[in-house]
Every structure is written in structure tokens, then in C-alpha cells.
Amino acid sequence: MTGQTAFAAALLDPSAPVPEGLRDPFGGPAGKRFDVYRNNVAVSLTEALETGFPTVRRLVGDAYFKALAGVFLRAHPPSDPRLASWGTTFPGFVAGFPPLARLPYLADIARLDLGLRQSYHAADAAPFDTAGLAPAAVLALKPRLAPATLVLSSRHPVHGIWRFSHAPDAPKPAPGPEDVLIARAGYDPAPHLLPPGGLTFARALKGRLTLSEALTRALADHPGADAAALLTLFLTSGALTPDPA
């Protein structure tokens, strides 16, 4: 092994011996001095995950999250120095982590945390401004989903769990599937509960349909969908940007 291969391997394995050739300044073994580097790596990467997955952390508790992060960072260390984009494999890791099987919704909460962070760093886009336009003219437009807009579909009440974990006076989440729209008005992304038909509506807009056509599709898929509520959510959340064409 080359020097840095041995050094890196021992950094990530607390039970490994200190690599050969490292000394304290008095010629003795490096001992605890090597542990400073081990600690820096584990603590700084754990903090990056704590910042990146705040809701998962609240749900499992600080101590459990630290332990979970310690396992994840050794199995999936960052592939490049942009820590803001590290952790895309964390939801899958959570889903496959046997001790967390009793919290089946946790992986989707991790996806929601990740989506909020991706939205925060996404490219800026002009807001979709409909001021002064007649409703019929608005419905004929083909806005696009802004780069900071994401949709997430879950078999669990992820929006309710997210809200309850951040605002304890929020209603207790009720069991059942929920879809979430992540949208950024200005610079602050927020998760919104997608009403029935919302997923179809978002997909239709991605397919370059007009608002009117997208609503028609949403209503065809979900005859009970509330067209006005859907339109209001997408027009007021910052989810849309004008078609540049």
C-alpha cells in the first residue's frame, strides 16, 4: 500500500493500527495524534449529514443519528469536495439498514430532506408572473417547472411527518400515502402537500403542455381533483417559471 492508501484506510477504520512511519515529534509512535485526524474526518462528515438531513435526525434522535452517520460515511464517503451534494445515496442506505426497518417512512423523509437541499442550491429562475392577465390567457400558457421544483411521491404521510417534526403543534400525521411538491419562492424552499392530481399535473407541465391541458389530464386521472386548489398551489409556491421559448 502507498502512504496515503494506508493513511486513508486507517482513518476510516478506528480499529486499524496507526500506519507505519508516523511519529510523535520525539520519535515515538504517533498514537493519539493520529486519532486527531480520525476524529476530524468523522466529526466533520457527521456534521455535514446532520446539516443535510435535519428531519431524519429529529426523528431518530441525535445519538442514533451520529451512529448512523458513522456507518454511512464509512460506506459512502463523499466522492468530491462539494459536501452540499453529498448524501444522494443516504435515502437508499436508510431503506436498506435493517435496524431502521421499524421506521419504514424514514427513507422517504431522507428523500424529502435531500430534495429541500437540492432545491436550495438549484439554479435561479424568473418567477412565473401572471399579473394583469385574464384567467383564460393564463391557462393558455406553458410554464415550466423551475429548476428548484421537485416532486416526491410516497406510500407514507411524509408531508405530515415533516410538518409534525418541525412544528410540534401541527396535527399528528395520519396514515396513508402523500405526494409532496418542493418549491422555492425566492431562496427558501418549502414542502407543500400535493393534492390529488398534483403529480399528473406536474408531469404534464414537464411534458410542455399548457396549464389548461395539464389540468385536463389531472382531472382525467383524478375526477375529484380540485382544479382551483392545484392551480393556486403551483402559481403561488414559486414552482413555475416562464417558458423561455
Instruction: Provide the binding-site residues for another protein, judged by CB under 8 A.
Output: 2-5, 7-9, 11-12, 21-26, 28, 30-34, 36-37, 40-41, 44-45, 48, 77-85, 120-124, 147-148, 184, 187-188
SS3 sequence, 121-186? HCCCCCCCCCCCCCHHHHHCCCCEECCCCEEEEECCCHHHHHHHHHCCCCCCCCCCCEEEEEEEEC
Least distance to another protein from the beta carbon of 66, Å? Answer: 16
Show the cell assigned to 75.
460506506
Q: Tell me whether residue 33 or residue 66 sits nearer to another protein (CB atom).
A: 33
Least distance to another protein from the beta carbon of 219, Å? Answer: 34
Pairing of β 188-194 and β 150-154: unpaired
Q: Tell me whether residue 89 or residue 236 sits nearer to another protein (CB atom).
A: 89
Query: In the 8-state DSSP scheme, what is residue 83?
Result: G
Q: Tell me whether residue 1 or residue 133 sits nearer to another protein (CB atom).
A: 1
Least distance to another protein from the beta carbon of 244, Å? Answer: 16
Does residue 229 sit in helix, strand or coil? helix
Q: Tell me whether residue 24 or residue 129 sits nearer to another protein (CB atom).
A: 24
Least distance to another protein from the beta carbon of 33, Å? Answer: 4
Show the cell assigned to 190.
418549502
